[in-house]
Structure 1
Amino acid sequence: MWLLNTEDGSFHHVDRPREHRYAILSHVWQTSGEQTFQDLAALQIEAVKMRSRMSLKRRLPFLRPPSPQTVLSGASPKIRGCCALARRHGYRWVWIDSCCIDKTSSTELSEAINSMYEWYAAADLCFAFLEDVSDDHDPRLKDSKFRRSRWFTRGWTLQELIAPATVLFVSKEWRLLGTKASLADLVEEITGIGKDVLTHRTSLESVSVARRMSWAAKRQTTREEDKAYSLLGIFGVNMPTIYGEGRNAFIRLQEEILKQVPDQSIFAWGPILRDDTLLHRNMGPYTVSDDSRYWQSRNLFAWSPDAFVNSAGISSIAPETFEKRAGIPFVLSEYTISSYGMRSRMPLIPLRHSSEKTTYLALLACEDIEDRLVAMLLYPQSGTMGRYYVGHYVGRPQVPPYSYFRLVTLSKSYLERLRGAIEISDVCIPYRPAPMTKRTEPSSLCRWPTFQCPCVVIVPTWVIGDVTKAGFDVSVSGVDNTLEISEFTPPETVALAMTSRSGTVQIRMGRCQCRGRFLCMSVTGTKSSSATPASSYATIVADAPGYAPRCPEDHVATWPKAHKDYACGTRSIRVTFTPWMGREGVYSLTIEVLALEWDEDDSRADSRTL
């Protein structure tokens, strides 16, 4: 470990940090880069040369003396500010990650990453430098810059906040904003980390794996691998660093955690179903077993700490507590890795439903904040025995990803009712994506068309041209054939009208009034002897007698392949939604007119699905 002298800017190497008194800096690196170990080493060499010339001057008085120069005078403002603050607090030595690690040495870099938590814990004092916060405001204000500081969003600063006993938050002017102890309640509110953990009254080891992972959810790192490496100290594990491995680093981290920490909450990530009454009533045949969109979520291990964003309330429980809740002996889980996945023994509850296969609940030794036991939903892999994927669709309508769940929390009454059905079985579950699996982005779980409001619907010009050729004049309510559907757009709003000599077809779009904020769409038609292509849009909007949207039938998200056929008298209208150029929340609408004549016996066309 290299320490930086706060007085002259020289380096000093130490092998046992806890035997030395030093301060340490926690900061967000500038996007333009920071001064490195090599930069400061070059300044040190230049300073040595300067001292040599000054020594020569003393021997040869007729030479012009050079101007005095130290290493720190050539250092960046951040390094100078940190050294000055450390000196004011009585420290001769300081450690700064940007310039005290020789990153040209892979060995030294790996050692530093694996030792980082220990180095921060061994420091007498940690300065948390908030470069985007001034000292002229109250950090506790509701919309303070302190609350919004980038420092709270970075991956590496998580362990730099937790590990040191004393943290001083300093402003961009290097003046004190407060300490970790004095602002513990505010920092807990910002980060979700309990005050007792921040102030070391509660040991880090007593916090569940899932909760610790949730602290890192949504934190950002420049390198993908650092999402894993920045958590090594949080879980007390060590592993080689391999830059270039990408998300595989986080898989390796979970493997190491599972080897050393007997905590099944490591599997408790992803969407959680908190109503076990839905399990038997609303489980359809559609599963994630062969759904390529869920190639990450159906495995045991998460692809990123972000997957634990909803897991802060998951805690591990003792074996005796599990036995009392489940009514069965605790199974000492041993995990064996093979090319097929991870093998173990788990307590399973079978769930029979409309599918030919049986879904299972795998009970985990963990609970939520309401003391409800947590279970994984397991679905058998095709053509195999004892091999499963994680996850199932639950609910009506079955609208991925909003009805997809990995976990279920089970009430005491539910467990008591099904205790007799629990069986201990060998299971094999893929713990990581197969090497040859198509590498779609895990965030595609969110980018897959959700058809929720607000959204934008674009009607391409060629679609209007085709409908016009079919004998209609088309009127689109939006500007440039673009419909902006907000959360407040009523579902009966006429977004597009198709008028011919014999009547009008109206395509209505808006937000369904249910809690899901789903885009709903319906087609209505009116036969009118007076209707002409010149009918105004305002007249068409007003003509909606007795119209009532249908939930969930009108949800675009429930339509197979996002298309639907409507019968309006003898006319057949097919509407199809597709993602627009891969942009989230933006869709294109195509319209096909499959029949062109009105039924003269009907005074009003019926809007019904063919």
Structure 2
Amino acid sequence: MRLINVKTYKLEEFLDYKTPKYAILSHTWGDDGEELTFRDVEEGGIRKPGVGSAKFLGSCRQAVQDRLGYVWIDTCCIDKTNLVELSEAINSMFRWYQRASVCYAYLSDVPSDDEPRKPSSKFCTSRWFGRGWTLQELLAPEQLRFYNSEWGYLGNKGTLRTIVGKITGIPHQILLGISELRSASVAQRMSWAGGRETKRKEDLAYCLLGIFGVTMPMIYGEGGDQAFLRLQDQILRTTRDDSILAWGLISPEKPLINSADQAGQATAGRILATAPSDFAHSGDIVCREQLSTSLNPLDISGGSLRLYLSLLTTSAGSVFGLLNCGPRHDPKRIVGIPLAQMASGASNEYVRPEGCHAALQPITASGASPRLIHIRNDNPSKKSTNARQQYWLYDDDAFAEVSLDLVDVSPSSCWDRDRAMIVSTLVPSGVATHQTLARFRHNDEESPDFVILLEVKQQDNSVKPECHVMICYRNTSLQELADKLQYVLQRASGRDSASNGLLHLRVALESDTQQPVFTIKPEVLSHPPDININIAAELRKSDLMLELVGIWEAKGQNNMEREELEQKVKDKGGRLERAKKERELVEDELRKLEKRRRMLAEEESNESEEMRLLGKKQAAVEARQEQAFQRWSHVRRRWDELYHINHDNHDYDLGEMDDWMPIYWAADRGYAEIVELLLTKGADLDVVNRDGWTPLIAASDKGHIDVVRLLVEKGIDVNAKDKGARTALWYAREARHNAVVQLLHRSGATISNDNVVLTSGSADTTISTAQLQRTLEGHSGSVYSVAFAPNSTVLASGSYDHTIRLWDASTGQLQRTLEGHSSAVSSVAFASNSTMLASGSYDNTIRLWDASTGQLQRTLEGHRSAVYSVAFASNSTVLASGSFDNTIRLWDASTGQLQRTLEGHSGSVYSVAFAPNSTVLASGSYDHTIRLWDASTGQLQRTLEGHSSAVSSVAFASNSTMLASGSYDKTIRLWESIEALST
């Protein structure tokens, strides 16, 4: 290998294994007179005028900059006068470019101000991309740089890969060397050279040797076609890739020529392509998965290609051989190459018809097993390769003897006038019969013509010729007869003779036993045939019959249309009648509505008058009320004058009585004298304030024993409950007014909400009561929560065993077990009306149950983790739930709809409780805090801090004035002035 020393500009020769690092030049040849040759460099003539010196010196300068000592240039490193050296260089050139440290692609037609990335750039249209040799020079080197005519750097094939890929059609992974060159199919690699040219035709084949990894001797003068065929022969020796046959694919923009059109008279072409341009539309064809049959070699010998292929015969009779390759982006299709069976020879001998295109076929069409076939690759000949042509010979002299001349044939393409024959072609599309009409005319101008129907019937692999003789008028078109032949064929069939009045003619056929050749023989008869068919008259009869049929069909169609119209008229009449009735109903309804409107207007007027009268009455009542207030104020002043001294136990503050019932006010203040006076006057003992407190509850809560005694003696209900279901005895015990408690006990009051029992739940799976009355057993897991129904008849318990159990509070008998939760039940709570039970569970849900039937009413979902606590507001309209997900959710107890989500805690919410007046909701959390929320708006009112560990339980006092909290820090904290805290 010779290299140019970039400092001395001398040629130096190296053995292959001792070659130093070198750069290599890729370029397009200019005029031969301007290029530097091997002899020029040898003799030191490197400063020759023209582009050659610019390429030589520029390459050397760039190599010096790249710290390389040598460069290789094809024009001056190869002695082209030595054919052996030239052949060796061409076979080695791909390897030389591949081993180069860097390749300089010099684009002499790209100016210095060109921008390659612009679509209109000179770079995109450079001659370099259209030359054959530069294809391997683009692919072989790992590093390739582009330079303009002034040796200005344009970019490399990595940075310009998108543009270069669009110009060349080469995928990026091949261009950049990510994938090996051999991973591309033969068809793809051929397509890259499809639009390229070389100065010598043979070089278009020789420049591809390295791309396919083959070698062969150079034979300049053999022609481009022959060189390309030799190249393909070498490729076939090294690959099983049958995409080498996937040439001739038609452009998607052009219509496919149906090879069936040439099936009868296909002209043999080569199975191999004659130039890379034949692969112009095969750039997307890739090999499919290798099948066992595709492992068989592709072998050319004796002028034929031997290979295994599945064959597809289309509905049009075209035959395609299905290759093991297809479009990259359409795995459901493969390439089919057109084939035609040889007219003579073995059944597995085929040719590729000249002028027929390869076509994409569905992959399902390859279901047939591949079989071994031989495809001829001889030089193209114009000789017919198909036995489907039939030849009808007629002797002009024989017909002239009976005064007849052949004047027309249909189809006209079948008439070979020069050879005096009619050629018909059988179509392999399932058509059993092929027909040709021949028209013979007598020299008597008045006589009708003879028409001979030449017919070939296909039966299996044999053909049967027949002829039928008829006459027709001279002015009848033969094409018209051919178009309507089907209507008279049955009448004409089998008639071998006819008479035109002047000539009685019979026609016979003679067949050649070796070839599909039939001779038409005319014979004159002495008398006319018994049946003479005038095809024109028969066609007229047929036309009349068809016309009659058409008339009958039209009549039938008219009858159908008439009946259809009658039915539509009937339907429309019915719809019209219904519309009329509906209109009458609407009008009647409108009359009623108008009457109703007048009545409402009158009622509106009357109501307005009544409103006016009520307004007057209201004003009178307000006046009387004002008078009463004035009297009250006068009485208060008199009262103050009489009692305006310090009475330790009788400080009657009438100012606070303004908004209260007198009996309730007196009981709450402990004014026994006034209570007694009011009782004497018949005061109502059942009055309650807005919290449901009776006078007895108010007196018991404050410890006014004299008032309690007066009320009890008057028969007040000692077990009446407020809105929180608490009794007077409960409040007395809470306030530790023992004397009142004893008095109430003696009067029949009891200790708890049901005034009987206090219950407890335990991890020992039992439920027990204070002053143990009984132990309730049944749960199979720890009992996490118990709750009495407000009516004290039922006790509910929630357990780790996923169930809720309802017990008879008086007997301890199990009433029913409520099942549905998929995890432990952590909390149970009754609505204030005792009809509804809520349960919270570790399964993230709350369930609402009918407390009387045990039926599940609805499941409330929304929490993202376990539900630890549930609580009803005292009015039972709202249900609160606290969860491990750090939130409290408020639900509509009647519909189960989520009303709002309260967020603010940074830890799990262990306990929730409503104040008895239902205005405030308290929540205790793992984050050590208690939070107070506005129950109606969900707004956070205040955060109570003080516990040093999780708050596990919160509870309001019955009068809403105190909140208790229990914590894991072993303390209970009491928070006062809750009313103030919540505002």
| Counterpart secondary structure, 2:339 | strand
Distance 1:15 1:289 in 2: 59
Q: Report matched runs for 1:246-325 at 5 Å.
A: 246=223, 247-272=225-250, 284-287=260-263, 290-291=266-267, 298-320=269-291
Match of 1:387 among 327, 331, 349: 349
Kindly state the Cα deviation for residue 274 of structure 1 after the two structures are TM-superposed.
Answer: 7.6
Q: Report matched runs for 1:224-243 at 5 Å.
A: 224-243=201-220
Distance 2:26 2:144 in 1: 9
Given the alignment of the two structures, is residue 431 of structure 1 paired with residue 431 of structure 2, yes or no? no
How many residues are treated as equivalent by the alignment?
Answer: 376
Distance 1:104 1:94 in 2: 21
| Counterpart secondary structure, 2:293 | coil
Distance 1:244 1:173 in 2: 37
Specify every segment of 5 or more residues in structure 1 that has no aligned partner in the other structure, as ranges. 45-70, 321-328, 393-400, 439-568, 571-610
Amino acid paired to 1:347: S
Distance 1:137 1:216, change over 3 A: same
Q: What residue in structure 2 maps to residue 563 of structure 1?
A: none
Given the alignment of the two structures, is residue 244 of structure 1 paired with residue 221 of structure 2, yes or no? yes
Kindly state the Cα deviation for residue 359 of structure 1 after the two structures are TM-superposed.
Answer: 4.1
Q: What residue in structure 2 maps to residue 377 of structure 1?
A: 338
Amino acid paired to 2:234: E
Distance 1:273 1:154 in 2: 23
| Counterpart secondary structure, 1:4 | strand
Distance 2:207 2:252 in 1: 31
Distance 1:216 1:331, change over 3 A: closer
Q: What residue in structure 1 maps to residue 641 of structure 2?
A: none
Kindly state the Cα deviation for residue 192 of structure 1 after the two structures are TM-superposed.
Answer: 0.6
Amino acid paired to 1:361: F
**TM-score, structure 1 normalization:** 0.58
Match of 1:100 among 77, 97, 121: 77
Contact kept in structure 1, 2:259 and 2:318, CA below 8 Å: no
Kindly state the Cα deviation for residue 360 of structure 1 after the two structures are TM-superposed.
Answer: 2.6
Kindly state the Cα deviation for residue 313 of structure 1 after the two structures are TM-superposed.
Answer: 0.9
Kindly state the Cα deviation for residue 331 of structure 1 after the two structures are TM-superposed.
Answer: 4.6
Distance 1:267 1:259 in 2: 14
Given the alignment of the two structures, is residue 164 of structure 1 paired with residue 127 of structure 2, yes or no? no
Kindly state the Cα deviation for residue 344 of structure 1 after the two structures are TM-superposed.
Answer: 2.5
Kindly state the Cα deviation for residue 351 of structure 1 after the two structures are TM-superposed.
Answer: 3.9
Kindly state the Cα deviation for residue 273 of structure 1 after the two structures are TM-superposed.
Answer: 8.7
Q: Report matched runs for 1:584-599 at 5 Å.
A: none
Q: What residue in structure 1 maps to residue 44 of structure 2?
A: 43
Q: What residue in structure 1 maps to residue 321 of structure 2?
A: 362
Amino acid paired to 1:390: R
Q: What residue in structure 2 maps to residue 408 of structure 1?
A: 359
Contact kept in structure 2, 1:288 and 1:391, CA below 8 Å: no
Q: What residue in structure 1 maps to residue 130 of structure 2?
A: 153
Q: What residue in structure 1 maps to residue 311 of structure 2?
A: 348
Distance 1:177 1:274, change over 3 A: closer
Kindly state the Cα deviation for residue 18 of structure 1 after the two structures are TM-superposed.
Answer: 7.5
Distance 2:264 2:274 in 1: 17
Distance 1:95 1:432 in 2: 42
Given the alignment of the two structures, is residue 203 of structure 1 paired with residue 180 of structure 2, yes or no? yes
Amino acid paired to 1:346: L
Kindly state the Cα deviation for residue 76 of structure 1 after the two structures are TM-superposed.
Answer: 2.2
Contact kept in structure 2, 1:348 and 1:362, CA below 8 Å: yes
Amino acid paired to 2:179: T
Distance 1:6 1:432, change over 3 A: farther
Contact kept in structure 2, 1:349 and 1:423, CA below 8 Å: no
Distance 1:278 1:94 in 2: 50
Amino acid paired to 2:359: V
| Counterpart secondary structure, 1:117 | helix
Distance 1:278 1:183 in 2: 36
Q: What residue in structure 2 maps to residue 12 of structure 1?
A: 12
CA deviations 1:364-423 (Å, max 9, x no partner) are 11111311122212111222322212248xxxxxxxx6xx42x221224x52xx73xx24
Distance 1:342 1:226, change over 3 A: same
Distance 1:278 1:217 in 2: 20
Kindly state the Cα deviation for residue 72 of structure 1 after the two structures are TM-superposed.
Answer: 5.8
Specify every segment of 5 or more residues in structure 2 that has no aligned partner in the other structure, as ranges. 383-474, 477-983
Distance 1:299 1:73, change over 3 A: closer
Distance 1:285 1:196, change over 3 A: closer
Contact kept in structure 1, 2:250 and 2:256, CA below 8 Å: no
Kindly state the Cα deviation for residue 17 of structure 1 after the two structures are TM-superposed.
Answer: 6.1
| Counterpart secondary structure, 2:76 | coil
Amino acid paired to 1:268: A
Distance 1:207 1:18 in 2: 32
Q: Report matched runs for 1:178-189 at 5 Å.
A: 178-189=155-166
Given the alignment of the two structures, is residue 30 of structure 1 paired with residue 8 of structure 2, yes or no? no
| Counterpart secondary structure, 2:295 | coil
Distance 1:429 1:159, change over 3 A: same
Distance 1:283 1:162 in 2: 37
Distance 1:377 1:105, change over 3 A: same
| Counterpart secondary structure, 1:210 | helix
Distance 1:217 1:239, change over 3 A: same
Distance 1:278 1:79 in 2: 50
Kindly state the Cα deviation for residue 97 of structure 1 after the two structures are TM-superposed.
Answer: 0.3
Q: Which has the bigger relative contact order, CA under 8 A and spacing at least 6?
A: 1
| Counterpart secondary structure, 2:237 | helix
Distance 1:228 1:221 in 2: 9
Distance 2:326 2:282 in 1: 10
Distance 1:73 1:31 in 2: 13
Contact kept in structure 1, 2:247 and 2:273, CA below 8 Å: yes
CA deviations 1:343-370 (Å, max 9, x no partner) are 22322233464xxxx6432121111131
Distance 2:304 2:44 in 1: 53
Q: What residue in structure 2 maps to residue 337 of structure 1?
A: 300
Distance 1:346 1:269 in 2: 16
